[in-house]
Amino acid sequence: MEHLKIWRYLSIPWVGFSIVFFIAFLGLAFLQDVSESFLTSALISKLLINTVSLTILVGFFTFIIAAPFAILTSLYKFPGHNFFSWSLSLPLAFPAYIYAFIFVGGLEYSGPLATWLREIGIIMPSVRNILGASLIMSLALYPYIFLLMKAQIKHLGVPLFKAAKTLGKSDLTVIKTVLLPALKPAIIAGMILAMLETLADFGGVSTLRIETFTVAIYNAWFGYQDYFSGARLAGILFTFVVLLLLLSRKLTDSKKVGSISNDSFDKISLNKTLGIISTSACSLLFLVAFGLPLIQLIIWSDLKEVFLSSSNITLFINSGFLGFITALLIIITALVLSLAYNGSNKMKSIITISTIGYALPGSVIAVGLLIVVNEIFGVSITSLGIFGLIICLSIRFMTPAFQYLVSALDNIPESSKQALATLPSNPLKAFISLYLPSLKPALLVAFLVVFIEVVKEQPATLILRPVGFETLSSKIYNFTSEGQWELAANPSLLLVMLSFVLVYFLNKRLDQ
């Protein structure tokens, strides 16, 4: 369409930069010589086993936790169902690395819970192992599946459930044979998001003492000053992520089922016994996943220090500034890319490739930028100051913003686009009259999602932040790396509060 042609030209700088970066990074990662004394086959095997095991277990446990509660709160009425329908997504406010130090600090031998359990004769096993780490990270990441399943049930699952119920089948049979198969794309998408977050995590696995690729990349870069070994590890992790995405694409490559009906749905009232059981189960998950971690943070924190300390206020402002500026730049770029994508079939593939950054851990992108910029321009990306960090975060979090806007554009009737194309309207008028009003809700959601992700991002911030520029996430790592849980609680509480407000508004917007 002619009125979208200008957006193709505007998208060229980002597309060109991204493609050059990805190609150059992979070439440098696998073609340069690395230190054989550090990067041994034994180390790579260990990293693969730990990373793959942790990722698979997190994917499994997030599904086990999220699926029953998403179905329960979407289809059934019981005491507190409206509250739990949104509150069970609140663990999104906790980055996995905050979860990790809360549970490690609370459950370690001298911790309050472990001490109390010993007094009643129960010995608490260590959580610093693959199984413990996967359970802790699953509590932080299950909302990805929970939210996607809820949305899919509302759009597709309710009509299917009602239709299957008319055949006289029991609820459990309908859920097992009809609803879960229909929700397969949402379930897999949520599991993949949780698994990608696991692959990207650094602070959490570091605290839990699980040596994964992200930990090894950080050690190679800062511990051994072995830059190309770090790049090689990042390249291997990149390859693993691509394989995971290809597998997810194959698993979800099935025939889509359309919505049967748009009728309203009155939730099924559970009897008194089942209602009490459902409320108790939701309350237990809410307490374990959000309530108790928040209480532990408050107990450890010095509330006066949290809100009145100039250093904490500076950390809060730095994180908010970084999140706001990065989110704003990302949604502007994503808007250009989505309009170019919508207006040109020839550019769709290359634009898609330029927005795959979310699949890559922040440490991979940060190391890639350090290597590529140094090799091509002979300077470090860190010489750009905070702008270098913003570039890294933009590559990483362009994906969700782009996908939200593309989905919103797909909802605009094709007849409206064709009618606009026949009018002698310039691109700016076309954008203001048709596209902007349709994209406003998606722009707000994209901004909130990216803001949340940026303020929580830790490995990229640690590697690329300018000297003297500390954020809440980097300060938390400084304390947790030394086992100073109580000192880490102050910036952690601020970060959780900031994320909580953003998650609350995100929930309201998604419900609308």
pLDDT at residue 463 in the model: 86
Tell me the pLDDT band of 479, cut-offs 50, 70 and 90: confident
- What does the CA dihedral 435, 441, 447, 449 come to, rounded to 10 degrees? -130
Most confident range, picked from 12-16, 101-105, 179-183, 380-384: 12-16
Tell me if 1-31+301-512 shares its fold with 34-299: yes
CB atoms within 10 A of CB 172: 8
Q: Residue 387 half-sphere exposure, CB side, CA atoms within 13 Å?
A: 4
Using the predicted structure, report yes or no on whether residue 258 has a pLDDT greater than 50. Answer: no
Query: How would you label 325-353 residue by residue, b for 16+ Cβ within 10 Å and e otherwise?
Result: ebbebbbebbbbbbbbbbbbeebeebbee
Label residue 454 by pLDDT band (50, 70, 90): very high
Q: Per-residue confidence at 393, pLDDT binned at 50, 70, 90?
A: very high
Question: Position 501: which residue type?
Answer: V
Could you give the CA distance from residue 190 to residue 188 in angstroms, rounded to a whole number?
5
Tell me how far apart the alpha carbons of residues 398 and 362 are, in angstroms, rounded to a whole number.
12
pLDDT greater than 60 at residue 257 = no
pLDDT exceeds 90 at position 202: no
Tokens standing for 162?
């009602």
pLDDT band at 54 (very low <50, low <70, confident <90, very high): very high
Q: What is the pLDDT of residue 110?
A: 67
Enter the DSSP assignment of 269: E
- Return the sign of the alpha-carbon dihedral for residues 277, 280, 283, 285: negative
Please state the domain extents for the chain. Answer: 1-31+301-512, 34-299
The pLDDT of residue 364 is: 82
Please state, in angstroms and as integers, the Cα–Cα distance from residue 49 to each residue in 42, 44, 195, following that order.
11, 9, 15
HEC states along 131-147? Answer: HHHHHHHHHHHCHHHHH
Q: Taking residues 416-444, what's their average pLDDT? A: 69
pTM of the model: 0.80
- Residue 1, pLDDT score: 57
For residue range 277-321, what is the model confidence (pLDDT) as tens digits? 999 999 999 999 999 889 888 888 887 777 778 888 899 999 999
Question: CB of 466 within 8 A of CB of 322?
Answer: no
Residue 418: per-residue pLDDT: 62
pLDDT at 324: 95
CATH 1.50.10.20 fits 34-299, yes or no: no
Pair 203, 477: CB distance under 8 Å: yes
Q: Check residues 153 and 20 and name the one with the higher pLDDT.
A: 20
CATH 1.10.3720.10 matches 1-31+301-512: yes
The pLDDT of 33-48, averaged and rounded, is 82
Tens of pLDDT along 329-344?
999 999 999 888 877 7
According to DSSP, residue 122 is labeled -
Higher-confidence residue of 341 and 259: namely 341
Is residue 203 a contact partner of residue 463, using CB atoms and an 8 Å limit?
no
Assess whether pLDDT exceeds 90 at residue 265. no
Q: Is the pLDDT of residue 221 over 80?
A: no
Euclidean distance between CA atoms 108 and 103, whole angstroms: 8
Helix and strand numbers, DSSP H then E, in the chain: 27, 2
Share of the chain above pLDDT 70, in %: 87
Q: Using pLDDT thresholds of 50, 70 and 90, give the confidence band for residue 109.
A: low
